Amino acid sequence: MDAVTVDEGPAGASLALIVVAAGSATRMQGRDKVWIPVCGRPLVQHSISRLAPLASRLVLVCKAEDVDRANRFLDEVVGDRVPWRAVPGGRRRQDSVRNGLEAIGDESHVAVHDAARPLATSELLLRVWRAACEHGAAIPAVPVADTIKRIDGSRVMETLDRSQLWAAQTPQVFERPLLERVFADPRWELETATDEASMLEALGHSVRIETGERDNLKVTAAEDLAVVETLATESYSR
């Protein structure tokens, strides 16, 4: 599997990659999923190995108690191939991303990626980055395959039109000044967002959709690890 490199990025643009690995382990029986081995390597290493070759700067946002461990890990797996830094996360996802944003340089664009999505490819990141260069903000997403019900308690209120429903993924890419302006808005001191795109949407900014990848799964529960391990084994053998 050949990775796309930074030389293939959009002309005149540069990319800072923020990998968010500071979430809680509430659905993993207390295990910190980002350090669980998948194909013999920590889960977080897969997305870094795949995506970092496109970046001119890498920031890994982790739990405060893991910063020293993350620094040793980055020194070993990234070395001097790209400038990197590990920073502590915050209480909410947006606080963690804000900490990561404060650690980057003057790159023209910022990619935010969940470490729990280990199988995102560099080709996907490149497509989303190119779309962000044109539209300011872009995210990968896939059409929802299931029938979606809106419920009240245990009662179905309505069946939604799935032709208009897409499931958002990461990496999400934004013009750096645009993302900085969004994070500077005081409303986010009180409100909680599930991703950066929703923060832009709430403030009236449009976000471009690029078709994501079906294998770009998010590990949220212990049983997801076996699926990801199988998919990772297949992808590395191509």
- pLDDT per residue, tens digit, the chain (238 aa), is 457 888 889 999 999 999 999 976 656 666 788 999 999 999 999 999 999 999 999 999 999 999 999 999 999 999 999 999 999 999 999 999 999 999 999 999 999 999 999 999 999 999 999 999 999 999 999 999 999 999 999 999 999 999 999 999 999 999 999 999 999 999 999 999 999 999 999 999 999 999 999 999 999 988 999 999 999 998 887 7
Domain ranges of the chain: 6-236
CA dist., res. 197 & res. 182, Å (int): 10
Superfamily designation of domain 6-236 = Spore Coat Polysaccharide Biosynthesis Protein SpsA; Chain A (3.90.550.10)
CA dihedral for 64, 227, 208, 149, sign (positive or negative) = negative
Phi/psi of residue 226, nearest 5 degrees: -65, -40
Say which residue the tokens 């429903």 belong to: 165
CA dist., res. 204 & res. 61, Å (int): 27
CA dist., res. 84 & res. 16, Å (int): 10
Q: Are strands 137-143 and 149-152 parallel, antiparallel or unpaired?
A: unpaired
Class of residue 107 by CB neighbours under 10 A (exposed 0-12, middle 13-18, buried 19+) = middle
At a CB cut-off of 8 Å and minimum separation 6, what does 192 contact? 92, 94
